[in-house]
DNA sequence: CCAGATTAGTTGACTCAGTCAACTAATTTG
DNA sequence: CAAATTAGTTGACTGAGTCAACTAATCTGG
């Protein structure tokens, strides 16, 4: 493995971020050295990754490869045709969906991959063999710790995705607004009816170029929503921001608001306005952080509540 | 960070090579995710690496950047000119060597780099903040272990390089052959004289297209040698293979022989032959492993030794 | 001391890994 | 059942990086 620059015996900074970033640079170099033999193979790194996946998974389609390896479909298509022409893979059309083909490595394909796999193993083996048993155990234990800590952390707080709305979401938005605002703030079913009217109008009059709904999804479940709707040609409205309690603290709300703002700018609105209640502290904080300004307040009695203060916030571009 | 596929709780294979390779794939994905923001910056990954080095080192030349980052000089040249035109770097010609220029990041350059550095730190910080203090400590301890084990291992067995001969090497070859063969096998100074004659003829009659000497160097010191010389148009001779005792066991001898063979093939010889003594067990094993075949043996008395058996080995292409 | 070799960096021409968009055929959806 | 969407293909292109020839400066050996 390539030697890292400078003496390792120098004092380790206490800053964990610095330590992790330095480790990342260090390990990038290790991986670079290990992969160097691939640069001298007949395959590019990406080709090796594709062959590797084909060797280790069954019933694989091109679409899945694109998804999992982050590849351009056109690029992969050409790569697979090249592999086919060399006889390294076979294709079998899916019976369920004749657009899809299942890909598999042939014996010949395994044969061309085998030396690369062997070489990769040999290089790691060489590294390990330079370590004493004690040092080797220390290394293996450490990489196991790194992997387990990070993997478990990711499982605990798996990332969420924002996606456009799809059938079923509107009902969910209405249902969850109704339930949560009742639970958390005591707003009665008239609030839920208001939400239902908002989403009905959104769907009935949707202008996709200038209006959108985002749903936050985590582990296959909806956990948040926000809408941007057109108030006028130059003014947009941000509505129905909601994050499930179980998904709070992950930055979902902030991200939903940011997406709204981004889209509104793209759509060349001059302003976003929104109507909220003074007691929705978390939401108000998000708006404030995003640059919205409070421009109006008004006391009102609604949804079986007698003490509400409505607020209007605006963000000018 | 991206979640790795499958459950981590599955039994860990006992094979250390497999574990390290899996960790390498895992960590490549982590690093890939961390670097993704760079893909959306105005800089390529390589540009960021160059800017980073300029930010953290002084008295840096283009040649040093090429050397340390493995960059093509022409490519770097254009990159640096681009940086210069944006005002991100300055150049100062060296007083000692007017071919060289010293490079430095300007305040403007630091300004464009700063958000990327900040973003990198923020991402690592986000990861760390998702960990409990206990888990964070575990991670930091583990990466420290990985880095220290591998770094110390590399310091102990820093890689060697093979390079062509340069002035001074011939004397070294003669001197070390003389000393080592006397120490290890009792060959007297007539052996050293033989070696001197071989290297003298090599230099005097060198045909660089078809003859070469390789010197193995480790930590700035010569630790091995081998020569390939022309016996006839179609036959090459491998001569003066030597590895210092302190550098044995690292595969240097194998590598020297392999380089000879590679070069001989390139030069379109049909055969390599060599003359060795039966008692040079390590060398004989290397030749055998490389495909050489023993074709002749002859007892002889030389160099104050009365019991030598000379052997002729050949490798046909 | 000087011609030839080597080095530091530049310029011209090129390769190819990967991107983007338009396409065809098949499937899904309202 | 028409329109929308999806899986994969094809055409055209970009730009990160390579290779070789170049200029100017330095080093080396005779």
Tokens of A110: 């395994």
Q: Tell whether B138 is covered by a domain.
A: yes
* Mean pLDDT value across residues B188-209: 82
Residue that wins the pLDDT comparison between B262 and A239: A239
For chain B, the domain total comes to: 2
**Does any CB of chain B come closer than 8 Å to the CB of residue A144?**
yes
Residue A254 main-chain phi, psi, to 5 deg: -60, -40
What is the per-residue DSSP string for B75-97? HHHHHHHHHHHHTSEEEEE-SS-
Same domain, B149 and B172: no
Tokens describing residue B203 = 């230099």
Q: Would A8 be classed as within a structural domain? A: no
Same domain assignment for residues A60 and A200:
no
Q: Domain check: are A143 and A225 in the same one?
A: no
CB contacts < 8 Å between A and B, how many?
162
Residues A105 and A219 in one domain: no
Domain that holds residue B87: 41-156
**Which residues partner with B225 through β-bridges?**
B215, B242
* B39 contact A CB<8A: no
Please report whether residue B174 resides in a domain: yes
| Residue that the structure tokens 């093939």 belong to | B265
Judge if A173 and A310 occupy the same domain.
Answer: yes
Asked if pLDDT for residue B142 goes beyond 80, the answer is yes
CB atoms near residue A305 (< 10 Å)? 16
- In this structure, the answer to whether residues A142 and A185 fall within a common structural domain is no
User: Distance (Å, rounded) from C-alpha B240 to C-alpha B197?
Assistant: 12
Stretch A234-244: mean pLDDT, rounded? 90
Mean residue pLDDT of chain A comes to: 84
Q: What CATH number is given to the structural domain containing B227?
A: 3.40.630.30
A-proximal residues of B, 49-78, CB under 8 Å: 68
Is residue B169 one of the residues assigned to a domain? yes
Report residue B191 as tokens: 């052996």
The per-residue pLDDT for range A217-229, each reduced to its tens digit, is 887 788 899 999 8
Point out the domain boundary residue: B133, B156, B179.
B156
Same domain for A251 and A131, yes or no, is no
ipTM, 2 dp = 0.58
CA distances from B78 to B97, B98, B99, B105, B304 (A): 21, 19, 17, 16, 63
**Residue B299: what are its φ and ψ, rounded to 5°?**
-70, 145
Rounded to the nearest angstrom, the minimum Cα separation between A265 and chain B is: 19
Of B28, B128, B151, the CB nearest to A20: B128
pLDDT above 70 for B4: no
Who contacts B255 (Cβ-Cβ below 8 Å, separation ≥6)? B162, B216
What's residue B240's pLDDT?
92
Backbone angles phi, psi at A123, to 5 degrees: -65, -40
Q: What was the pLDDT predicted at B156? A: 67
Model confidence at B2, in pLDDT bands (50, 70, 90)? very low
Write out pLDDT tens, residues B242-301.
998 877 777 788 888 888 887 887 777 888 999 888 888 788 888 887 878 888 887 877
pLDDT at A13: 53
Q: Same domain for B195 and B93?
A: no
Asked if B260 contacts B291 with a C-beta cutoff of 8 angstroms, the reply is no
Q: State mean pLDDT over B93-103.
A: 90
- Clarify whether residues B181 and B310 are in a common domain: yes
pLDDT value of position B113: 92
Domain boundary among A118, A140, A156: A156
Q: What is the 3-state secondary structure (H, E, C) of B145-167?
A: HHHHHHHHHHHHCCCCEEEECCC
Q: Do B150 and A30 touch (CB under 8 A)?
A: yes
Q: Quick check: B13 pLDDT over 50?
A: yes
Q: Is B159 on the interface with A (CB under 8 A)?
A: yes
Which tokens is B16 given? 């250390």
Q: Which of B46-60, B94-108, B242-256 has the lowest mean pLDDT?
A: B242-256
Interstrand relation of B293-302 and B271-277 (parallel, antiparallel or unpaired): unpaired
pLDDT score for B167:
72
Q: State whether A117 and A246 are in the same domain.
A: no
Q: Does an H or E element contain A60, and which?
A: strand A60-61
Q: Determine the Cα angle at A245 with ends A239 and A246, to 5°.
A: 130
Distance CA B202, CA B238 (A): 12
- Say what percent of chain A tops pLDDT 90: 25
Element (H, E) at A226: strand A221-230
Given pLDDT bands bounded at 50, 70 and 90, which one contains residue B82?
very high
Burial class (CB in 10 A: 0-12, 13-18, 19+), B134: exposed
Q: Tell me, what's the pLDDT at B1?
A: 40
Judged against a pLDDT cut of 80, whether residue B168 lies above it is answered with: no
């Amino acid at each position: 493995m390539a030697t890292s620059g400078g003496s390792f015996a120098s004092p380790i900074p206490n800053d964990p971020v610095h330590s992790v970033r330095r480790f990342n640079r260090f390990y990038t170099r290790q991986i670079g050295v290990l992969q160097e033999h691939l640069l001298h193979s007949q395959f590019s790194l990406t080709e090796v990754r594709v062959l590797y996946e084909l060797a280790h998974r069954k019933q694989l389609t091109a679409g899945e490869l694109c998804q999992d390896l982050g590849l351009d479909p056109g690029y992969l298509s050409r790569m697979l045709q090249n592999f086919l022409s060399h006889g390294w893979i076979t294709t079998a059309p899916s019976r369920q969906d004749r657009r899809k083909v299942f890909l598999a490595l042939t014996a010949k394909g395994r044969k061309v991959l085998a030396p690369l796999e062997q070489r990769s193993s040999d290089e790691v083996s060489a590294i390990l063999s330079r370590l004493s048993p004690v040092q080797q155990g220390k290394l293996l234990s450490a990489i196991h710790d790194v992997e387990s800590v990070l993997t478990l952390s990711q499982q605990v707080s798996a990332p969420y995705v924002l996606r456009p709305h799809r059938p079923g979401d509107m009902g969910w938005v209405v249902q969850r607004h109704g339930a949560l605002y009742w639970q958390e703030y005591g707003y009665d079913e008239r609030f839920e009816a208001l939400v239902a009217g908002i989403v009905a109008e959104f769907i009935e009059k949707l202008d996709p170029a200038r209006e959108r709904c985002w749903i936050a999804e985590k582990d296959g479940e909806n956990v948040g929503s926000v809408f941007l709707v057109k108030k006028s040609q130059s003014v947009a409205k941000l509505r129905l921001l909601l994050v499930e309690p179980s998904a709070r603290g992950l930055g979902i709300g902030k991200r939903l608001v940011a997406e709204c703002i981004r889209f509104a700018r793209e759509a060349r609105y001059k302003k976003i306005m929104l109507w909220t209640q003074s007691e929705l502290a978390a939401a108000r904080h998000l708006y404030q952080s995003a640059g919205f300004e409070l421009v109006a307040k008004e006391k009102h009695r609604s949804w079986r509540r007698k003490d509400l203060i409505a607020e209007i916030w605006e963000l000018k571009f």
